[in-house]
Structure 1
Amino acid sequence: MDSDAPGAVQQELHDVRDQLDALRSGICSRLRLSAWRRGPDGETVTMPTDEAILEAIERLQITIAAYEAPVDAAELPWAAIDAMIFVGRKMHAIQAIRTEFGDDLRLALDRLCARYKMLRREKPDGFTIPAETYWDGFYS
């Protein structure tokens, strides 16, 4: 084994970390999240967590889905709610259903379940979560 191999591996790991840091910074910048890295002068700066980045991506998906939704007047109230259902934000969807339709909690849950079934049947590619795990951890 080459004696320079451990140093080369360390350098490669360092390079990969730098590339990932640059990627993360670029993603945060494009999502308009605060994105800072530790500067060469040693300043301590924070960067959004993975969870914050994923939440921003989900919000973006919801916004995009609302713009891509059909313009049919009957479907219009469902555009943003469907986007929430697609990304698994069930509690937010229930809250939006209650606000939009004035439902009590039980009726909003029933509407959510019915809408979920219809979307799974008619637009299965819109979902980011597999059907097998969609309801995991959700108890009504």
Structure 2
Amino acid sequence: MAEEYVYRGLIMQTFGSWFKIPVLAIFIQSVIFSLSHSYNGLGLIEILITGFALGFFTWKTNGIEVSSAIHTANNFSISLFVMLGLQYSTSNLSLSDTAATIVFEIILFIIMYYVGRKTDWFGEIPENSQNTGLFKRK
């Protein structure tokens, strides 16, 4: 939760309010998020993509609840796999592991986006209303 508050809450909202370009704020927080992890170059690419997806869900849902749930589920599942011996823990990832993980994450995020659209996670904000959430409209 602390990472979500810092990266998707504080950093993303700050840059989003300065630039008024959501994709730029999402990209900036993703870069900072990935650089704060101690992985090799391949691992940083994986974390960058994860950070971008979490930022996207934060922006689309106008809050950090969904990204926090995704982040928590991701960290819990990795911890569980390591504890059960199904996966090993390392900061030096191989190209094949990284590619497989990135493909899996992209598929997962597309499915989550589809489910989110169907279950109204992304409730539309009327254009004429006063938006008090992320990246206030004027």
**TM-score in same-fold range (> 0.5):** no
TM-score (norm 1): 0.29
- Which structure shows the bigger proportion of residues in helix conformation? 2
Q: Which has the higher contact order (CA 8 A, sep 6+)?
A: 2
